[in-house]
């Protein structure tokens, strides 16, 4: 079977591999300028945005390379490619062309044919994805670090796209895309329709999981700080996924803006000491809700598990369609 | 060596066609005593026929005494029937042509001639005789 | 005679329509079996049920002692199958397909295939999608023969072939099968082209088996009777009437059976295989239209 799998799918696999290589080359190229500018600006010594020198350099760096976020975002399509170009045609093309009548009447049973193909292709896809995600993590670490210090959400390890393209989630998402493609092909028996359905369903699964489930994998950490004239932001560790910033008063009411929060202290606006006293009296504090970066593997575990279970279910249904429904 | 051919559309079973072709070849002198008939395998290769059909045809020819199977060597023509003298053959053919001309004059077409011939042959009793 | 394949009330339904119903038969080993019937009669359905491509809706089928759909690992190695229009991977070369066969089959011997393809000058390194119909058919046939199977099943193998390709196809087939002694099952809606090759007959029409019989026996036992218009019921009480028709001048009946005393006013004619098949197809069509018609007896 392994000879057949390679011979039949080599073009599709090479096509996706070429795309992965292209992305890797692009990232490696950018990595060079990232590392160069990073050391030129001496950002290795900066651990917080507090000092003015660091602050402006960090900001400049983030501004210069922020566009990479867009490039990485497009790479979210790569797992879908496995589903579209390898998964969807797997069964659909055999049925459409009638070749299933040839290959399922050699001496290999349908189940063994299905199992061999699925295992080989998923392993291949996962290896390619693992390679790409390693390249992504390695290539972008300067930018990730800088954005972590600045608490920017764009290239945070816990948010899309970085979270989706690294670790176990990248692998599970690839497996899911491939499985959905195979299932779509098995059920519709039309390659083009299966390709379209794969994209739609894959997106329809991932967006809700990323947007609605992921924030709730663990209760966010809440810290507060006193509101003073110098600082009104609580201390949040670097790299954390900042989910909410605001103000809270003694009665537990939350506000987004300091102006609204401290409306009652308006009369004392002219006198800083009195203003401070007023804040203390109404119990005004600033708060932040965040997920610390060290929860990365916990969150990866949950989300990857969801995709893995869905992928396994899709494959089971696809296998049952191949064994029973296509007879 | 005799070359067989099969006509799928004649309605005549293949094994009978083989027998007829062997008999015809013997009659017309194309096969002589001790000539070897093609081996079953050769016939299968030649005209894509079921080997059992060839076996059956050869067996029937053997039963009729026209051929004999010599072990390890093949199937050979055993005896030829009295060949028809060429002059008698030619004379019969000429009178048949004359008869056909008068049949055509009378308005018979090819199908009617064949029908007339078939029924008359049946009635004559000639049909029951095997070629000796 | 051992049976190499048996069906027991086998049926397959596609949605509302039955593709095959109530099929019970026993196919003898070592024969060349012709499966004939009009298009849509159920030939492809029956053959695909025999190789496990379809699952029976009712009844059972056994090939070499096992049920093909439930135990494919036991049946597939012993059956070679070429579906209608000889499906292959069009971008694979004949060489590729032989490698595929060697990998996906336990028994594999393609020396004869290669010899034959070389003899016919079929290029082994061209994608089979770019071969002529006759060449592709030879490749598909060769791949099935290389499997060294006990049964070779071909679904409408001659349908799209020109006369020369047909001849070459049957030559390849008969040579291989004569050597190996494998059972052969060929389906077609044209009887003529199968008669030279086959010695057993199965007639399918309207999703049902109409007749299974050795071809020799069929030719010996079926006769066409023509005579003056007579009482059809009386006739059918004496003979096994397959189908009969009547005009004011003449009655024609196809009967099956060993010689019995016949009315001297009738003529007996031998029948060709094509005529015998036609009689059963006519009967099945009459039965389909009027199930209780007296004409369609037995």
Task: Place C297 in a pLDDT band, splitting at 50, 70 and 90.
Answer: very low
**Residue C5, beta-bridge partner list:** C27, C63
| Domain positions in chain B | 8-77, 86-124
Task: Let me know: does B56 contact B15? Beta carbons within 8 Å.
Answer: yes
Non-local (6+) Cβ contacts of A181 within 8 A are A82, A83, A84, A86, A87, A88, A90, A194, A195, A198
Q: Which chain C positions have a beta carbon within 8 Å of B41's beta carbon? A: 175, 178
- What would the two tokens of residue A265 be? 């202290």
The lowest-confidence range among A228-237, C151-160, C189-198 is A228-237
Can you give the pLDDT at residue B93?
87
pLDDT, averaged across chain A: 91
Can you give the pLDDT at residue C258?
66
Any idea what DSSP says for residue C131? S
- What would the two tokens of residue C169 be? 């196809």
By the CB < 8 Å criterion, does C96 face chain A? yes
Task: Place B127 in a pLDDT band, splitting at 50, 70 and 90.
Answer: low
Size of interface A-C (CB pairs under 8 A): 69
- What would the two tokens of residue A243 be? 């989910």
Minimal Cβ distance to C55: which of A7, A100, A327: A327
Can you give the pLDDT at residue C295?
46
| Domain positions in chain C | 3-205, 218-289
Task: Let me know: does C53 contact A95? Beta carbons within 8 Å.
Answer: no
Label the pairing between strands A221-226 and A285-291: antiparallel
Segment A261-281 shows an average pLDDT of 80
pLDDT 10s digits, C203-212 = 999 999 999 9
> What CATH architecture does domain C3-205 belong to?
3-Layer(aba) Sandwich (3.40)
Q: Would you list which residues of chain B are within 8 Å, Cβ to Cβ, of chain C?
A: 6, 8-9, 11-14, 40-41, 44-53, 56
Q: Which chain B positions have a beta carbon within 8 Å of C193's beta carbon? A: 8
Conformational region of residue A240, where left means phi above 0, alpha means psi within -120 to 50, and beta covers everything else? beta
pLDDT 10s digits, C58-72 = 999 999 999 999 999
By the CB < 8 Å criterion, does C6 face chain B? no
Non-local (6+) Cβ contacts of A302 within 8 A are A217
Report the distance separating Cα A71 and Cα A66, nearest Å: 10
By the CB < 8 Å criterion, does A219 face chain C? no
C146 CA to centre of own chain:
22
A8-41: burial string, b at 16+ Cβ within 10 Å, e else = bbeebbeebeebbeebbeebeebbeebeebbeeb
Strand order in the sheet with C222-227: C240-246, C251-256, C222-227, C267-270
Strand order in the sheet with C17-28: C17-28, C3-14, C58-63
Q: Distance, in angstroms, between B100 CA and closest chain C CA?
A: 26
**ipTM for the assembly:** 0.92
Can you give the pLDDT at residue C53?
97
Can you give the pLDDT at residue C70?
95
Taking the CB of residue B130, how many other CB atoms lie within 10 A of it?
Answer: 9
Can you give the pLDDT at residue A153?
86
pTM: 0.87
| Domain positions in chain A | 2-218+307-325, 221-291
**What DSSP string describes C22-59?**
EEEEEEETT-EEEEE--TTSSHHHHHHHHTTSS--SEE
pLDDT 10s digits, A122-141 = 999 999 999 999 999 999 99
- Residue B80 pLDDT exceeds 80: no
Cβ–Cβ below 8 Å for B53 and C171: no
Q: Which chain B positions have a beta carbon within 8 Å of C220's beta carbon? A: none
Q: Report the sign of the C-alpha dihedral through residues C172, C173, C176, C178, in that order.
A: negative
**What DSSP string describes A258-269?**
HHHHTGGGGGGT
pLDDT > 70: percent of chain C: 95
Can you give the pLDDT at residue A174?
97
Task: Let me know: does C210 contact C204? Beta carbons within 8 Å.
Answer: yes
By the CB < 8 Å criterion, does A6 face chain C? no
CATH node for B8-77: 1.10.10.10
Q: Which chain C positions have a beta carbon within 8 Å of B9's beta carbon? A: 192
Report the distance separating Cα A270 and Cα A252, nearest Å: 26
pLDDT 10s digits, B31-63 = 888 899 999 999 998 899 999 999 999 999 999
């Amino acid at each position: 079977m392994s000879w057949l799998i390679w011979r039949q799918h080599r073009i599709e696999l090479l096509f996706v591999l070429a795309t992965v290589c292209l992305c890797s080359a692009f990232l490696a190229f950018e990595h060079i300028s990232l590392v160069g500018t990073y050391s030129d600006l001496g950002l290795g010594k900066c651990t917080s945005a507090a000092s003015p020198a660091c602050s402006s350099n960090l900001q400049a760096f983030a501004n210069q390379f922020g566009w990479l976020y867009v490039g990485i975002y497009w790479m979210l399509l790569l797992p879908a490619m496995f589903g579209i170009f390898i998964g969807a045609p797997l069964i659909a093309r055999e049925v459409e062309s009638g070749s299933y009548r040839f290959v399922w009447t050699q001496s290999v049973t349908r189940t063994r044919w299905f199992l061999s193909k699925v295992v080989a292709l998923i392993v291949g896809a996962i290896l390619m994805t693992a390679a790409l995600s390693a390249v992504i993590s390695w290539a972008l670490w300067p930018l990730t670090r800088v954005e972590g210090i600045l608490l920017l959400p764009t290239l945070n390890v816990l948010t899309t796209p970085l979270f989706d393209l690294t670790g176990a989630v990248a692998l599970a998402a690839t497996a899911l895309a491939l499985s959905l493609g195979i299932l779509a092909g098995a059920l519709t028996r039309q390659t083009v329709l299966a390709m379209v359905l794969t994209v739609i369903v894959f997106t329809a699964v991932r967006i809700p999981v990323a947007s609605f489930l992921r924030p709730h994998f663990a209760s966010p950490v809440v810290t507060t700080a006193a509101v003073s004239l110098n600082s009104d932001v609580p201390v949040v560790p670097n790299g954390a996924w900042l989910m909410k910033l605001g103000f809270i008063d003694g009665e537990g009411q939350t506000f987004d803006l300091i102006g609204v929060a401290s409306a009652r202290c308006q009369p004392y606006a002219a006198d800083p000491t009195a203003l401070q006293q007023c804040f203390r009296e109404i119990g005004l504090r600033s708060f932040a809700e965040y997920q610390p970066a060290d929860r990365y593997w916990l969150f990866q575990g949950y989300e990857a598990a969801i995709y893995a279970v869905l992928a396994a279910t899709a494959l089971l249904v696809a296998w049952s369609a191949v064994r029973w429904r296509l007879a | 060596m005799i070359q067989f051919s099969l006509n799928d559309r004649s309605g005549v079973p293949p094994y009978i066609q083989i027998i007829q072709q062997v008999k015809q070849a013997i009659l017309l002198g194309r096969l002589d005593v001790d000539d070897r008939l093609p081996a079953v395998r050769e016939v299968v290769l030649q005209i894509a026929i079921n080997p059992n059909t060839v076996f059956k045809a050869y067996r029937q020819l053997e039963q009729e005494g026209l051929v004999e199977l010599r072990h390890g060597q093949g199937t050979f023509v055993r005896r030829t029937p009295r060949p028809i003298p060429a002059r008698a053959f030619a004379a019969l053919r000429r009178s048949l042509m004359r008869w056909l001309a008068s049949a055509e004059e009378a308005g018979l077409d090819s199908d009617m001639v064949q029908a007339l011939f078939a029924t008359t042959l049946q009635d004559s009793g000639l049909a029951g005789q095997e070629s000796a | 005679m051992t049976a190499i394949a048996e069906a027991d009330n086998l049926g397959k339904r596609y949605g509302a329509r039955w593709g095959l119903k109530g099929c019970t038969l026993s196919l003898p080993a070592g024969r060349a079996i012709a499966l004939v019937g009009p298009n849509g009669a159920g030939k492809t359905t029956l053959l695909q049920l025999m190789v496990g491509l379809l699952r029976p809706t009712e009844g059972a089928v056994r090939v070499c002692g096992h049920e093909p759909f439930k135990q494919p690992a036991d049946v597939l190695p012993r059956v070679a199958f070429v579906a209608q229009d000889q499906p292959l991977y069009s971008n694979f070369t004949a060489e590729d397909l032989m490698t595929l066969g060697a990998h996906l089959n336990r028994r594999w011997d393609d020396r004869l295939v290669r010899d034959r393809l070389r003899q016919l000058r079929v290029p082994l390194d061209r994608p089979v999608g770019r071969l002529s119909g006759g060449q592709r058919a030879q490749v598909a046939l060769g791949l099935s023969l290389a499997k060294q199977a006990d049964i070779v099943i071909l679904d409408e193998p001659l349908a799209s072939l020109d006369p020369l390709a047909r001849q070459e196809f049957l030559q390849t087939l008969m040579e291989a099968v004569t050597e190996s002694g494998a059972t052969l099952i060929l389906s077609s809606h044209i009887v003529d082209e199968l008669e030279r090759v086959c010695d057993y007959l199965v007639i399918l029409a309207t999703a049902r088996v109409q007749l299974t019989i050795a071809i020799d026996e069929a030719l010996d036992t079926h006769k066409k009777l023509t005579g003056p218009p007579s009482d059809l019921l009386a006739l059918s009480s004496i003979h096994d009437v397959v189908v009969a028709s009547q005009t004011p001048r003449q009655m024609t009946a196809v009967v099956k059976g060993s010689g019995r005393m016949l009315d001297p006013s009738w003529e007996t004619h031998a029948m060709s295989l094509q005529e015998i098949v036609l009689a059963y197809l006519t009967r099945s069509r009459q039965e389909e239209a009027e199930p209780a018609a007296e004409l369609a007896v037995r």
